[in-house]
Amino acid sequence: MGNAVGVVAATLLASGVEFVEALTIVLAMGTTRGWRSTWIGVGAALAALAVVTAIAGYALQSWLPEALLQLVVGTLLLIFGLQWLRKAILRSAGLKALHDEDETFRSEVEAARAAGDERRLGLDWFAFVVSFKGVFLEGLEIVFIVLTFGLNGDSIPLAVLGAALGGVIVLGAGFALHKPLARVPENTIKFVVGLLLSTFGTFWAVEGLGWFGPGDTSLRWPGGDAALLVLLALWGLLAWAAVRVLSRRPQEAT
Amino acid sequence: MRLLAGFARFWWDFIVGDDWRIAAGVLLVLGVGAVLVSSARASDPLVATLTAVGIMLVAIGSIVVAALRARRG
């Protein structure tokens, strides 16, 4: 049950925050360069993401034994999650600039206006390429999280449901307002996602260490699945303490 | 060859990001955990606990390094 809630929460929040960033780029292209080439770029990116998901999902599920899958996927998730968490902590402590969707939108619009009028395959090439890259790169992070959570939690449908919900909420709001979602508390969401990725990544990577043992089975955590809650609390405590300490000005700290 | 290098570079940036120390530290800690498991010298709960603590120490180290760099500008 805790696993299922964690899978849906992590994929929903992660996809929501990535969709916010992709939406900003798509809106900037669509409103300045026209919607036809922009939508074709979005569609091509979604098709490419579907292919990547199918190939990577099939390969991971078919070729790796369970414990090794936990080790590989858990390690990737952990490294990925710790990057998110570290950046979120630095932003919360004021040591790194917050992501500003309005500013991103303005610079994308400026670039779109300054770009030439190159046409290829009957498309506005600049709008096509920028929309494709924006959606593909942001979408790849969602695919990565959906696959890792879905395969290891044995719950691909739940992971897809979470990601789809995040997409529907963000795209619905974005196209209703017709402007970037600058008021979404991106760093707070990234903080929570970073905590969830680090928690599940630690849990699964350690379970996967059992692959090196004689039985080739997953390592047992003390307390079984309840260890997830302890890990989440510890990662939360560590992050909270880091923000508190780093938020102090240097002269206060001494 | 350039295409291959670009492909590898993309995945490196995507997963490892801007601080390779996190990846190196996590792999090191998991490597120690793997040695403990394969030599069967420690129980599962002990290996799990020690590995988790090691990973958290890696995270703390990475955050401290990043904070010091940010303060130095």
- Confidence tier at A254 by pLDDT (50, 70, 90): very low
pLDDT of A135 > 50? The answer is yes
Give how far B7 is from chain A: nearest CA, Å: 13
What pTM does this model have? 0.82
Higher pLDDT, A204 or A150: A204
Higher pLDDT, B49 or A190: B49
Confirm whether A252 is domain-assigned. Answer: no
How does DSSP assign A192-222, residue by residue? HHHHHHHHHHHHHHHHHGGGGSTT--PPPPT
- Confidence tier at B71 by pLDDT (50, 70, 90): confident
Confirm whether A58 is domain-assigned. Answer: yes
Report the percentage of chain A scoring pLDDT > 70.
95
Q: Which amino acid type is present at position A121?
A: L
**Interface probe with A: pick from B55, B57, B71, most Cβ of A within 10 Å:** B55
**Interface probe with B: pick from A79, A138, A140, A219, most Cβ of B within 10 Å:** A79
Q: Which amino acid type is present at position A205?
A: A
Measured between beta carbons, the chain A residues lying within 8 angstroms of B14 are 140-141, 144
pLDDT digits (tens, 9 = 90+) for B24-61: 999 999 999 999 998 877 888 999 999 999 999 999 99
Residue A169, pLDDT score: 87
Question: Do the Cβ atoms of A96 and B33 come within 8 Å?
Answer: no
Measured between beta carbons, the chain A residues lying within 8 angstroms of B37 are 209-210, 212-213, 219
Residue B10, pLDDT score: 80
pLDDT of A183 > 90? The answer is no
**Average pLDDT of span A104-129:** 84
- Confidence tier at A249 by pLDDT (50, 70, 90): low
Residue A21, pLDDT score: 86
Confirm whether A254 is domain-assigned. Answer: no
Compare all CA atoms of chain A with the CA of B20 and give the residue at the minimum distance.
A79
Residue A44, pLDDT score: 94
Residue B19, pLDDT score: 82
Residue B42, pLDDT score: 80
Question: Do the Cβ atoms of B62 and A86 come within 8 Å?
Answer: yes
Measured between beta carbons, the chain B residues lying within 8 angstroms of A222 are 45, 48-49
Structure tokens, A227: 């260890």
Measured between beta carbons, the chain A residues lying within 8 angstroms of B66 are 86, 90, 95
Question: Do the Cβ atoms of A90 and B67 come within 8 Å?
Answer: yes
* CA separation for the pair A177, A103 (Å, rounded): 17
CB-CB contact of A7 with A193 (8 Å): no
Question: Do the Cβ atoms of A96 and B59 come within 8 Å?
Answer: no
Confirm whether A253 is domain-assigned. Answer: no
**Average pLDDT of span A21-43:** 89
Measured between beta carbons, the chain B residues lying within 8 angstroms of A85 are 59
Confirm whether A123 is domain-assigned. Answer: yes
Residues 6+ apart with CB under 8 A from B61: B21, B25
Across chain A, mean pLDDT equals: 85
How does DSSP assign B56-70, residue by residue? HHHHHHHHHHHHHHH
Helix A227-247 vs helix A2-33: angle between axes, to the nearest 10 degrees?
50
Confirm whether A188 is domain-assigned. Answer: yes
Instruction: Please report the number of interchain residue pairs, chain A to chain B, with beta-carbon separation below 8 angstroms.
Output: 98
Residue B63, pLDDT score: 92
- Confidence tier at A36 by pLDDT (50, 70, 90): very high
Question: Do the Cβ atoms of B22 and A83 come within 8 Å?
Answer: yes
Question: Do the Cβ atoms of A238 and B18 come within 8 Å?
Answer: no
Question: How many structural domains comprise chain A?
Answer: 1
pLDDT of A154 > 50? The answer is yes
Question: Do the Cβ atoms of A96 and B70 come within 8 Å?
Answer: yes
- Confidence tier at A2 by pLDDT (50, 70, 90): low
CA distances from A212 to A68, A208, B35, B36 (A): 9, 8, 8, 9
pLDDT of A131 > 60? The answer is yes
Question: Do the Cβ atoms of A238 and B38 come within 8 Å?
Answer: no
**Average pLDDT of span A105-117:** 82
pLDDT digits (tens, 9 = 90+) for A69-99: 889 889 998 998 999 899 999 999 888 877 7
Q: Quickly list H helices, A93-212.
A: 101-114, 125-152, 156-177, 186-208
Domain that holds residue A153: 2-247
